[in-house]
Chains A and B, each alone.
Chain A
Amino acid sequence: MTATATRGQKKHATEDLRSEEEIAAEKRKGRVGLYLIIPGMAFLALFFAAPVLVLLSMSLYAKPPGAEIGEFVPALQFSNYTTVIAAYWEVFLRSFVFAFIATVAALLIGYPMAYLVAVRLRGRQLMQGILLVLLIAPFFSSFILRTQAWKQILSDEGPVVTVLRAIAILPPDGHLTATAFAVVCGLTYNFLPFMMLPIYANLDRLDTSLLEASGDLYASPIKTFFKVTLPLSMPGVFAGTLLTFIPAAGDYVNASLLGNNRDTAMIGQIIDSRFFKVVDYPGASALSFILMILILALVLIYIKRFGTKELF
């Protein structure tokens, strides 16, 4: 006992220049840290990690012969996965394509917004504040109400279709709602703030003297943008694209309000209807789990490929 203590002390004496008290204080601090995170972590373990495991086990449940609707027994029925993949792989593909287009569109719209507020209006705090509020405030008018408003604005009797038909961009019987175009527009619109805010947070710290230096070295503004501004803001773009793509891929409000439910269906709609209309818990769980794994895989590939500063 004493021997180990002395050896321990000797070890500290050689490797660590701190006093005994400092080390004890460090340990105590470590414990305080653990106490601080335990409640939050316990909550996440109970209501995030455990539910995902429940979802995984439920995705393998089987329907016993002669069962009532919604009655399932624990099993290891892996065929649930092959069944839903065979039935819905197209919907998965469509969801990811829609989410991808919406993410690119949101980036093209959100970047100039972020640049305007963070760089062009730098120093004008009141103006910056007002524009940022305009970005957050729509949350309070409910995104379903706003999506429904888009549905009416884009409807066949609405102003947009009337104008587009008059100038012959749309054929006389053409329409915008109940199309893939409307669904992607809705996705772009709804997740735009999630794209814009991280880019803004990043550009807000951009050192503009670098842009001046680039200009002084005769780089054109466009070259300066692609060689200096954009590479420096990549962490913001990275966060923004993830925060847009992930919710967009799982969304079903836009698809169900702005789509036509046949060839615009997204995977979220299917999961919802499997759960509540068809009451096929194992199928719905399997679909949810596949969606989670696919998105995690895509995110990991994305992080591996682009998660560094070396982009250009």
Chain B
Amino acid sequence: MRQKLGRWFIPVAGGLAFVYLLVPIAYIFVFSFNDAGRTNLEWRGFTLDNWQNPCGAPNVCQSLVNSLQIGLVATVVATVLGTCVAIGLVRYKFKFRNTADLLIILPLATPEVVLGASLLAQFLNLGWELGFSTIVISHIMFCMSFVVVTVRARVSSLDPRLEEAANDLYASPFMTFWKVTFPLLLPGIVAAALLSFAMSFDDFIITNFNSGNFTTFPKFIYVSATRGIPAQANVIGSAMFILALVVVITSQVIAYRRRKALASR
């Protein structure tokens, strides 16, 4: 009896936790079909209008485009800079490694309000105008540490003999990097980039400090929360969720099939 209880506990508790995670998503999805009018607070009847006209509410699509652009630029820069740092830190020995380590870990141990407030203090001091570029800078900053940590784990687990073998076969260091090291690091780099994009896209606190009048999607929702969030925001939230699911699951299925095909050969 106890044995059985133990066997069921994990699937039930874990399953319930996943349900808990998805309850608000379900709510957002259902209320994206609400015939809401100005405030999307109570159910007023089913309609497809919001999905047919997702940009119907003022600023909702512009804020989405802004968020996507910021996410893209910040992800590319943070991934490139962070990957270089990760390789440099694992593979090479030099004097300032401990300082470098500290500089990477500290942003992770600092709450977002402090990161946002300190950058705002810096931008005020420099007299920079708040907007697209200051948001991008702040996002690169907090994404880069995550990229370094993620990619570094991958670099450390790499077998150095593979590079030595390439070297022995007269590959130049450059060739060795592109043909051996980089492909092996790629899964880690992709994971880091996806995480960066997700965090940048969903960031509110740091953005709120450094955005001035520029509006991102999370900021749009936060600002309109006092007046009532338009149902179009629910449409975009649901659509982005579904898009993320479809993209990742498709790539998973392709990778799964490929592994199976390789295994059966």
Contacts and interface: CB of A to CB of B under 8 A. Distances in A.
Contact of B22 (A31, A134, A139): A134
Q: By DSSP majority rule, is chain A's interface helix, strand, loop, or mixed?
A: helix
Contacts of B81: 39-40, 43
A276 B183 CA distance: 47
A275 B87 CA distance: 39
A246 B108 CA distance: 8
A284 B117 contact: yes
Given A133-B245, A222-B6, A292 B114 contact: yes
Nearest to A147: B24
B166 interface: no
B17 A54 contact: no
Nearest to B257: A126
A34 interface: yes
A140 B198 CA distance: 6
Contacts of B195: 136
B50 interface: no
A37 B221 contact: no
Interface string A19-43: 0000000000111111111011101
- Categorize the interface residue count of chain A: 35 or more
A36 B111 contact: no
A137 B118 contact: no
Interface string A245-265: 011011111000100000000
Given A37-B85, A153-B24, A44 B103 contact: yes
Contacts of B141: 43-44, 47-48
Interface string A116-134: 1100100001100111011
A5 B222 CA distance: 67
B35 interface: no
B245 A110 contact: no
Interface string B107-133: 111111111011111101100000000
A54 B104 CA distance: 19
A131 B229 CA distance: 29
Contacts, number: 273
A115 interface: yes
A281 interface: yes
Interface string B192-215: 001100110110110011000000
B244 interface: yes
Contacts of B135: none
Interface residues of B, number: 92
A285 B120 CA distance: 10
Contacts of A29: 91-92
A234 interface: no
A134 B109 contact: no
B122 A54 contact: yes
B11 A40 contact: no
Interface in B208-262: 208-209, 217-218, 221-222, 225, 229, 233-234, 237-238, 240-241, 243-245, 248-249, 252-253, 256, 259
Contacts of A292: 110-111, 114
A45 B99 CA distance: 11
Contact of B109 (A144, A145, A284, A296): A296
Contacts of A238: none
Given A43-B140, A144-B221, A149-B27, A136 B248 contact: yes
B159 interface: no
21 contacts: A33-B93, A34-B88, A39-B84, A47-B137, A50-B122, A55-B114, A109-B17, A109-B20, A112-B9, A116-B11, A139-B201, A139-B244, A142-B237, A145-B233, A247-B111, A251-B112, A253-B222, A281-B124, A292-B110, A292-B114, A299-B109
Given A47-B122, A141-B28, 5 more contacts: A138-B21, A145-B233, A284-B117, A295-B110, A299-B109
Interface of B: 2-3, 6, 9-11, 13-15, 17-18, 20-25, 27-28, 31, 41-42, 81-82, 84-85, 87-89, 91-94, 100, 103-104, 106-115, 117-122, 124-125, 137-138, 140-141, 144-145, 148, 194-195, 198-199, 201-202, 204-205, 208-209, 217-218, 221-222, 225, 229, 233-234, 237-238, 240-241, 243-245, 248-249, 252-253, 256, 259
